[in-house]
Every structure is written in structure tokens, then in C-alpha cells.
Structure 1
Amino acid sequence: MFNRSKLCASIACSALLFAAPFNQSVLAQDELPETEVNVVGSWGNLAVYQEREKPFWTKTIPEESGGAVTANLRPFTEMGMSGEEVFSLLRQGVLEFATSAIGYVAGTDPRTEGTDLAGLTEDIDQIREANEAYRPYLNERFEEQYGLKLLAFFPNHDLAMACNTPINGIDDLEGKKIRVHSRSLAEFVEAAGATSSSIPFPDVVPALERGVIDCAVSAVLGLYNAKWYEVTSHLYTLPLGWSMLFHAANLEAWNALPENVQTFLEDELQAWEERNWEWAQTDTEDGVACLTGGNCPYGEPASLTLVEVSDEDRKRIHEIRDEVIVPSWAERCGEECTTSWNETVGNVLNTSASIEE
């Protein structure tokens, strides 16, 4: 039998075990029962939590339920956990509801990153179309393999690259040392002639300042919030991905909820997911503006030089995608996964994956 207390003691997370899974007092059959859900959010210091998750769980859910449904919410960054631990603890039932990044799951299951490989999609319309095609496959994978209910799947915002040396396009990445945070990003920059580095996010600024690395990749608004502009000079907006996030519930915890509460939460999370797609586009535009001297709603704009993607760059990106990124991912993912990907994402993007014999 699973011992939650023993596990939490071993990883110093006893605070995760809240007093009770749900607090219910059944009212009339057509009304929502009083229900409190325990939710672990994403990065507490970033806009995705402060401006998206926190208002949703602490304001929207109580208001739309007439006060019946409430959430006990904390970001994982305040709980001494890593993003990888969130997924593991959610699967084990220590966590009930949680948000995390697909990139944290990809090491465990490469299937999950099938729509957000480096260089795969060029804009938010493409990534959304790919996600809609792939979503049924992911839903099934989360439920059958991991015992999770996938409730929302959406982008944070577009990735970009900040450099402390002048660059004009993808050819200028050759010989550079570039900080990345996923395997496909590492493969991408190495295919462009650069050397990849997995420096932790908090260490990026000093690494750029000391010249340990020349460039670093992050979600564009997060790059501004982390003040990378203080130690860089150029912002390169090549299509590296959208930092996809997911919100899921442990299936045992989900099934313990009354059916009308499940329906209510599914409807609200679906609407919230839709708003997240809109926010992702706005946040991307705001992030670029904040970094390059435009109209910045978050503070004083920086003055990085904007390097846009040329037609020649785009051609090279497609070559790297088709010759390096997708084949490497297919090898990691396996034959069944590759077949499903070709029927969904590959069909939408007019490309295909194959595994060499």
C-alpha cells in the first residue's frame, strides 16, 4: 500500500499533504457541493502563475461556482520541488492537481513533446493546429500510462535567444556556446554549429556576464522578467518552440470528485485553456516589445537589437528540423509513437518522421 507520509518525509515535502483531499457537504442534487481542491501551480515569480493561474483558481473558480468550489493553491517553486518532481508526485497521488511544463516530462516520455520540438512550428497558429491533432493521443497516454486526467494543454509563450555578441542570423550561431533547457534545443543549436549548455536558469545571467556562454534560450517574457537584457545585446526570434504547459489531475483524486464538480471544472479549465492561447500570443508580443524598446506594460523597456528570421534562416531551420530534430525524436519515441505522430502532427505540418533500420 502506498505510504504518502513516508515518501514526503524522504523528499522533505510534508507540506504537500493537506488536511483532507476534499471537503464536501452535499447540498441539493442540482447544486455544487462545497469542495476544496489542492492545486500546485507553476513558477510563483513568473507571469504565467501571477497573472493566469492564481486569478483562475483563487477568483474565477470560487466566483463561477457561487463559492462552492475553492482551491488551496501554491506554486511548486515555493514548495521546494523541481518541475520533474511535480510530474512524479502527481502520478503517485501525492499531488492532486498540478501545472508543469511538458519539457520536464519529455525525459520520462518523449511522446509528450511531440508538438513542441525545436524548430517544428513557425507560429502560434501552427502549434495550435498541431496540438489539436495530437491532443487525443496525449489524453490517452496520460490516462492509461500515468493515471492522470489531462485537463489543459497550452503554451507559455514563444521562446527566443538572447546573445551578448552581435548576430545577424542562424549562420552566426556557429562556434557560440548557447544555454538551452531541452534535448531537442540542444540538438538544434549543435546542428547550427554551436555548443549547447544546460546551465540552470538562475545561473544564466552570471554565465552571460562572465562569457561562460554567448547566448541563452528562454520564453521571451521570462527573459525580460529575469533581466537577461542587462548582460546581452541582441534578441534573435527564430522559432524554437512555445514552452508548452499542461494542467492535470491525479485520476484517483479526480474520480473522487462528485460528477457535477468534475463537469464544472472541465468546463472552466477548457475556457481557461482558450484564454491561455490568447495570452501566449499577447505575452510574446509584449516580451519582444519590452526587450527591444517598444511599448512595455511591465516596466522600462530594454534596448536589445532585434534579429528577425530571414527567408534563408527559415530554409535552414526546416533542414535542421527534418534532418536532425524529427529523426532523433522518432528514435527516442519508438515505432508506435512515430506512426501516431505522422497521422496527427506530421499530417498537419506536411512532414513525416521515420526510424532508420
Structure 2
Amino acid sequence: MRNNNFNRLASAVTLLGLTTTIATAQADAVTLNFHSGLAQSRPEAEHIEAFASLVEEKSGGELKIEVYHAGALGLKEADILRTLQRGMVDMALLYGEYYTRDAPELASVYAQGAITAADQHLDILPVIKEMYDDGFAKWNIHTVGGVVAPIFDVGLHCKEPVDSLEDLQGKKVRVWSRHLVETFDALDIAAQVIPQNDMYMALQTGVVDCAYYLSTVAKTVSLQEVTEYESYLHPWAAAPWIFGISERALGRLDDNQRQALEEAGQEIWATTRDLAVDPEREALAREERESLGITVLPPFSDADVDTFVTAAWSTWQTMAENAGEDGMRYYNTVTQALSE
């Protein structure tokens, strides 16, 4: 009888110890809130979710990432650096060109016209990442990999045949940044920033004659309905999306959790880097646009591309100068690497 009682007591103690261990492990688990301004339908969102899954897996469940897509936390992109610095959110998807108010130098890291061949992007990517790491660190934000955006073709999508800078004279062009407005202005071509959501209507109503846009995904915004011609100009200098964590949030993590975060971020970075340049994807997209009724004209000539790039680099430099010492340092570092 005594042995039975002793065995019951031993089992109860063991069970209590196991329960305590599980409860302690659950208490030690950390969940980080992750802000993303991108819609969940965007391809980048899949990579963010994959990142969250990898973090949980690599940490043995000790660290979880709760992703809030499409700005569901109610945060404004222009405020994200301040928000992270103050620890008001744990993590965020960062895009340097959004922070012209607080950190204009980050918009000077990379600009359209920087590359003329897609493979150049892969060569320069480590330098770009280093510049972003430096810039975000000034806001007490630690970077842990990110998403390397695909390198899409950029073309002029017009109502009339246009495949040269000369053809663009007298045309009104839609662009997506101030840098591009100034680049085309230097070429005596009228351009204006029009948000993507308003681009279709602007073309349809004649506000603009052409759209400077990512040709590979032009179908997703139905450009084939309001333009008939397209001519390739250059590859997209795609600034990467960076995973950033507040130093305050990072300070709550143990070594295992930090390692899981770093490894998961680098794995997503490597995976998306391998997917970034894909000539077959670009060729298939071009064929699809032709099947939709778009006449794909010859690309802009090498001479025109050189002229555009020269203007783009000049306005890029001016933008960097206006951003101050860090802006010029980023510009000089990246352009020197591109020139080597």
C-alpha cells in the first residue's frame, strides 16, 4: 500500500513538474507585432508570412511574428521610423523611399536609371543593403534581411507609337516620383507624379499621353485598355523591402530567439534574391501583353538610354546633395560600386 501511495505521489510530482515546465516555456514565448503597408494580395506578403513561419519554426515556438497587412495597425508609412524608434510597434516592413520627411538620405540610396542591365542589380545589392542597414540603425532599428523585389522591365506605355526620347517631345508622361519628374524635365519632357490608382483615368481622360510604368505587371492595372503601344526603356532599380525590428523589441529576445530571427530574415533575402532576375518571366509577360492587343515596339536606342541615364544620375546627385552629408555618402558609395 505504501509503495502504491509513493508511486502515486511520485507521478503527481512528475506531472506537476512537467506542467510547470510547459507553463514556463509558454510564458517565455514572445510574440512580435509586424506592420506591413502592403495588401495581402501582393507577392511580397507571401514572403513576409513565410518569414513569420520560419521564425516560429527556427525558434522552436519561442518567438512568433504576428503580421498585420495593409496597414491594419493604423500606422502611417511616413511615421514608421519614429514609431519603431519609440517601440510603439515591434517590427515593420521598411521601404527607404517612403521616409523623405524624416530621412531623405534613404531615398538617395538607389534611383531609377541606376542600372541598365538586370544583373547589375544583383551585383550592387550588398552595397544597397549596407547603406540601408546604416541608415535605419540611426533610428535604433535593427535590420534582419528582407524581400528583394523582382527586377521588372520599365517601359513607356502610350496611346500613339513612341520608342524614342524624340517621340516623347510634346507628350505628357505619368511617373511615380519627384526624381523622375526632374529627370524628364532635364530632357525637356513634361512629366507629373500620378498615383498608380489614378493612372488609368489619367490616360483615359487625356491628362497624360504616356505612362512610365513597370511593363511586366502592366496588365494588373489594365494599361492595355487605355494604351496601345509599349517600348522598353530600362530595368527597374527596385529598392528592396527591409525587415526592421525596434532595438527595444530586440532587447526582449534571448539568444535563441535572436538567432531564429536573423536566420529567417537571411533565408527570405536569399530566396527572393534568386527569384529577382528572370528573363523568361519578362519574355512571357511581353508575349501576354501582345496577346492582349499591345503593339510592342523596338526598345529605346542605346543612345537614348545613355541620355536618360545621364539625366537620371544628375538629378539623383542633386537629390542626394539636398539630403545632406549622409545622402551624398550613400550616393557616392552606390554610384562608385556601379561604375566599377
Which TM-score tier does this pair reach, normalised by the shorter chain? 0.7 to 0.9
Residues 239-318 of structure 1 aligned to structure 2 (within 5 Å):
239=234, 240-282=236-278, 286=281, 289-290=284-285, 292-294=286-288, 302-307=292-297, 308-318=299-309
- Count of aligned residue pairs for this structure pair: 315
1:223 corresponds to: 218
- Amino acid across the alignment from 2:113: G
Gaps of 5+ in 2: 1-21
Instruction: Look up the equivalent residue of 2:303 and give its one-letter code.
Output: E
**Cα displacement (A) at 1:313:** 2.0
Sort the Cα spacing of 1:111 and 1:127 in 2 relative to 1 into closer, same or farther, 3 A.
farther
CA distance, structure 2, for counterparts of residue 273 and residue 110 of structure 1: 25
Alpha-carbon displacement from aligned partner over 1:150-170 (angstroms, at most 9, x marks no partner): 223554233624333321123
1:152 paired residue among 136, 145, 150: 145
Q: Quickly say closer, same or farther: Cα 1:117–1:302, change in 2 above 3 A.
A: same
- 1:70 aligns to what? 64
> Secondary structure of 2:46's match?
helix
State the distance in 2 between where 1:164 and 1:33 align: 60
Local SS of the residue matching 1:71: strand
Q: Is the contact made by 1:167 and 1:173 (CA closer than 8 Å) also made in structure 2?
A: yes
Partner-residue secondary structure (3-state), 1:238:
strand
1:326 aligns with 2:322: no
Q: TM-score, normalised by structure 1?
A: 0.76
Distance 1:102 1:170 in 2: 29
Q: CA deviation at 1:311?
A: 1.4
The answer (yes or no) to whether the contact 2:146–2:266 under 8 Å persists in 1 is no
Of residues 130, 133, 144 in structure 2, which corresponds to 1:136?
A: 130
Q: Flag structure 1 segments of 5+ consecutive residues without an equivalent.
A: 1-23, 352-357
Deviations, residues 243-274 of structure 1 (Å, cap 9, x unaligned) = 43222111211222222211111111011011
Tell me: CA distance 1:129–1:93, structure 2 relative to 1, closer, same or farther (3 Å): same
> Mapping of 1:151-170 within 5 angstroms?
151-157=144-150, 158=152, 160-161=154-155, 162-170=157-165
1:104 Cα deviation from its structure 2 partner = 0.9
Structure 1 residue 72, shift from structure 2 partner: 1.3
CA distance in 2, matches of 1:153, 1:64: 17
Higher RCO by CA contacts (8 Å cutoff, separation 6 or greater): 2
Structure 2 residue 43 is the aligned partner of structure 1 residue 51: no
Retained in 2: the 8 A contact 1:33–1:68? yes
Structure 1 residue 130, shift from structure 2 partner:
2.6
- The residue that corresponds to 1:347 in the other structure is 336
Please tell me the residue identity of whatever aligns with 1:275. Answer: T
Across the aligned residues of Structure 1 and Structure 2, the Cα RMSD in angstroms comes to 3.1
* Higher-helix-fraction structure: 2
| TM-score, length-scaled by structure 2 | 0.79
- Identity %, equivalent residues: 21
CA deviation digits over 1:65-108, x for unaligned, max 9? Answer: 44443221121344555532444433332221111322212443
Letter aligned with residue 312 of structure 1: A
Mapped contact 1:99–1:247 kept (Cα < 8 A): yes
1:113 to 107, 117, 120: 107
Query: Quick check: which has more Rg, 1 or 2?
Result: 2
